[in-house]
Amino acid sequence: MIDTVIGRRTAMVVVAAVVLAGCADDGGTDAAFVDPTALADSVQIDALMGHLTEFERIATEHDGNRALGTAGYDASVDYVAGALRDAGYDVQTPEFEATTFEVEAQRLEIDGQPLDVRALGLSPTTGPEGLTAPVVRVPTDDTPGCEATDYNGLDVSGAIVVVDRGVCTFSVKETLAADAGAAALLVVNTEDGPLAGATLDETVPRRIPVGGIGPADGERVAESPSVDLVLDTKTETQRSRNVIAQTATGSTDDVVVVGAHLDSVPEGPGINDNGSGVAAVLETALQLGSEPGVTNAVRFAFWGAEEIGLVGSSEYVASLSPEERDAIALYLNFDMLGSPNPGYLLLDGDDSDMDGAGPGPEGSAGIERTLSGFFAERGIDAGGTDFDGRSDYGPFIAVGIPAGGTFTGADEDKTPEEADKWGGAADEDFDPNYHSAEDTVDNIDRDAFAVSAASAAYSTAVYAGSLDGPDGVPSGAARTEARAAFTE
């Protein structure tokens, strides 16, 4: 039923007067060139909202979410893959492994008095019953807990070891403590406050529970003869899938990759984050068609396991040979396009905002200008968002592939200046429903969604037509040199 509805909307958008003179060996076609503005105009809000309605239906029928490892995610994969196949695409759903980590309980007590402890990511579990053990403080030196000699003269067998943060990785500290016979490890932060957001290395065997504590609590624990510790955690390895589809036309030496993450968080249906990005990329693919008149092939990608650390996109990039990576001209990313208190934000590829991470790989600035020009034509003065690699473009820029994309904001406050420029409420979140059960179709800003989704189609068509010009990206030998310079 769903696939039939989508099939009626599958249409290639062209300018009939311009004919592509292409070689069949380069994916050439006799179809007319795709016009960027026409493709953007073909991505209509009713079709976009139709996709979101389907994602919400899928979540509702599968425990309220579309997260990694759930039937809701599998149904989302089937929906996207089915729509693309009905449009004539050859669709692949490559599998990858993803490790999930949950904390059921975390507690640290001295004589019944609670202290703030945070389980490090991927920490082994104490079990729900926890453990009570003596405390041994590893002396502070230039390599705290980073060398086996740090344990000389210390009896840590069955003890909870306390070490300072710094110098070596948390996994090195955990390995050495376990080698010495410790039952658990507490790492003391070097800054005020608890040690939050830290994780162990997935590639290193993990043997004993590891928690993080703040400096003040570190002193209290070190002075106590014993403590009660609960780090009740669960680590699982699951298989998941990406969805990949590519046009049959266009050069495969200069591929334009366009992507969005398909998974939600477990807490909600993920309609803005990121059903909106998926809908934009999917509708662009359906309107473009599988054999469009393009110079460069377009590869559409829908990533799994983004919400636990960009796993699907990272695994995909890691799976490519050097030649396959070099054949990717650029990457366009679309994440959260319909925030209810929206901003109009572009990945700051040129670092013109001078905020956070530096400029992206050569060509990223041109992508930002292309998208900025699109919004300017529609009377919108788009702003920048830090090019920090925290969405699925991150693995691409890490290997020197230029990237760009559109974003309408998450759980950051909209400033008064931004509210004056774009409307909406100042000093309130762009998306107050971020990562919650309220991230639903009813809370999508349709106007922001419509123009942001159209920007996905426009930029796709621009670079599918040509990589050249002042807003282009490197190709040939210039590409090789630019990427080598960026990654050296």
Residues involved in catalysis? 306
CA 146/CA 138 separation, integer angstroms: 10
Residue 191 amino acid letter: E
CA 361/CA 396 separation, integer angstroms: 9
Burial class (CB in 10 A: 0-12, 13-18, 19+), 237: exposed
Contact present, 427 and 416 (Cβ < 8 Å): yes
- CA distances (Å), origin 210, targets 108, 383, 405: 12, 41, 38
Record the tokens describing residue 339, joined without a space: 């925030």
Record the tokens describing residue 188, joined without a space: 């003391």
CA 162/CA 108 separation, integer angstroms: 13
> DSSP readout, 331-398?
EEEE-----SS---EEE-TT-TT--SS---STTHHHHHHHHHHHHHHTT---EEE-----STTHHHHH
Record the tokens describing residue 167, joined without a space: 């110098």
Contact present, 294 and 91 (Cβ < 8 Å): no
Helix (H) or strand (E) holding 472: none
